[in-house]
Amino acid sequence: MHSVSYFCKFGYIRAFNSSYMLHFLRGLLVCFMVFMIADVMGQQVHFPEVVLQGVETNVEVTEAVKGDSLFIAKDTVVLRNDGGKLIGTFVLNSDEVNFQNGNISYDQPTVIPGWLSLLPPLIAIVLALLFKEVLSSLFLGIFIGAATIGFYTGGVSGIFAAFLTVLDHYIINALLDSGHVSVILFSVIIGAIVAIISKNGGMQGVVDRLVRFATNRRSGMLTTYFLGIAIFFDDYANTLVVGNTMRSVTDRLKISREKLAYIVDSTAAPIAAVAFITTWIGAELTYISDGVSKIESQQGVEITQSAYGIFMDSLAYSFYPIFSLFFVFFLLYKQRDFGPMLKKERGAMAGEVRQDTVTDKELEEFEPVKNASRKAFNAVVPILIVITGTFIGLVYTGFETVRLELIAGGYDLSDGVWSNIGKQEGVDSGFFKKLGIIIGNADSYVALLWASLSGLLAAIVLTISQRIMSLRDTMDAVLVGINTMMPAIAILVLAWSLAGVTESLSTAEYLKTFFGNDFSQVWVIPALTFVLSAFIAFSTGSSWSTMALMYPLVIPLSYAVASGDPDVATMGIMYNTIASVLAGAVLGDHCSPISDTTILSSLATSCDHISHVKTQMPYALTVGGVALLIGVIPAANSVPWYVTFPIGIGLLYIIVTFFGKKLNP
């Protein structure tokens, strides 16, 4: 390579025109580095371990020679493949290079049939529902995925090696993810806080106070419901705090753990999905902004509305989350249930033993110590620190991120950061919009860790300062609390590992291929978006990955198709489609036994996980059906929201009233 010899020659001249050995060594070092770069870099297209037939594949390109200069340019491109045959072109360094002209070399990808990518999640889900045991089901799902990859890359021996890769590759990678570790730490710290405030009598004091409001089953459930709505800014904090706080109250009122888990799960994600100041906003605004950029570049139109404004307008089409909140309220207020939940509720009212994720011995260890006074503030203070600390942490980290973005954008901050928020979008922002932008740019994991650690410290200080327990006994309680979280965390880690398998097999991308571009009716786009998003979230257990996959596809598509029909409100179809992605993702999460939020709901309420899934699924599918038929499809046919929402909410009320069976208070 000419550029390699150029740099080596430069190093050689510098070395021998100088009497200093240091310069000679520098010359050798330059030559060595250049040869190493050239050897590693080459002119290559690097494929993933396996690719699916007929599915777009992300490949890494390294290419670097131009004249007498040496540089490395890396880009991620999309390459279509069909049975291993490479087709199409890509742009590299502003020069179009065709794969067929010999300028680029590539390794032959390992192509597998796309339908095989569906087996790991489907096997895990089916086995978990059939045998009511989720750990082995998840492990087998991971193994099936690893074995599929192993067989196509290494033959029969690859199947045997796959058993080991379950641990040394997929589980290890799941644990190496900083976000996953943050969730684990937050969960165990919450468990430790609950153990301490239970032992020091604080939780019993809270129960005594709440009993005044939660005097019967209805008021107990409604108290849980409104507490879940109050913690609207983060679904993880919502689930773990409300579930752990209200468990002892609902137990006393003979409310099943399944019903508690349902209330927690079906208020956490829906309220976080529609509230305009949440930890979800940042990702959503990024996807919406990217989708709008594609519309402008591909279709040559200018959309002046900001990403935040588009999100706010899409809330008028967020049927499933809003319908879910009303449906839960109707069930609790009317004291009616149907399906598997009815059986669990009747059993709880009859005093049947609940299935806990902790043993009887561990439950006894949560009993208050003998000298503990039932002071509610011993529990309220740590819990409030977790809640308010999370919100403060979100504001702090988000404000810092926005500040750095404004500096990078060249904005004058002499009049303060707050007054400049929103200028990136070219609009003046009100107070709540600015606050939403800040929280949307926050690091939710950091905020949760700061808040939970502060809450734990407060619980320890309160316990020791009042001489309720010694330092050693308090630390023993911490370990007990951590131990109670271990079974659910094991499920969570395996679920993340299964998500890693589905990512390696491009499961979501394969499901996305069913979404074509040829539609005779525009209303099909939001409806199919809702269904497909739900199925992807159900199969992968992640609403966030569903949004990441669907938004870039459907935002430009919905605008392009709708703009071609003069009888259709183009922006209305796009708003409906954007809302349908998020709504479908939440629905899929509510139905999936491998969803992290569903697992966390089981963890926080000490409910059997499969039992929670089986009792929640009929309710979620009921609301999803009403959302699709009464909300998404009519709205796509220009029926206004002030018609669809009342009809949908009224239909849900009728379903609860006439199909639900009355339970005695």
Q: What is the pLDDT of residues 534-558, one digit of tens each?
A: 988 888 777 777 777 678 778 887 8
Assess whether pLDDT exceeds 80 at residue 213.
no
Q: State residue 358's pLDDT score.
A: 45
Q: How far apart are CA 378 and CA 469, in angstroms?
A: 13
For the stretch 323-373, pLDDT in tens is 999 999 999 999 999 999 999 998 888 876 555 544 445 445 667 777 777
Q: State residue 12's pLDDT score.
A: 34
- Which tokens go with 621? 């599918």
For the stretch 115-131, pLDDT in tens is 888 888 888 878 877 77
- How, if at all, do strands 51-52 and 57-66 pair? unpaired
Alpha helices (H) along 409-542: 431-440, 444-465, 471-504, 507-512, 524-540
Q: Which helix (H) or strand (E) holds 114?
A: none
For the stretch 246-268, pLDDT in tens is 888 888 888 999 999 999 999 98
Domain segments of the chain as ranges? 2-41, 45-112, 115-176, 181-353+363-662
Q: State residue 9's pLDDT score.
A: 33
For the stretch 68-86, pLDDT in tens is 333 333 444 555 554 545 4
- Which tokens go with 394? 């979100």
Q: How far apart are CA 450 and CA 471, in angstroms?
A: 22
Q: What is the mean pLDDT of the chain?
A: 77
Q: How far apart are CA 98 and CA 559, in angstroms?
A: 31
For the stretch 17-59, pLDDT in tens is 444 454 444 444 444 443 443 343 444 566 667 777 767 666 6
Q: How far apart are CA 505 and CA 112, in angstroms?
A: 9
Whether the model pTM is above 0.75? no
Q: How far apart are CA 613 and CA 593, in angstroms?
A: 6
For the stretch 430-456, pLDDT in tens is 777 787 778 777 887 888 889 889 999
Q: State residue 658's pLDDT score.
A: 92
Percent of the chain at pLDDT exceeding 70: 74
For the stretch 386-401, pLDDT in tens is 888 888 988 898 888 8
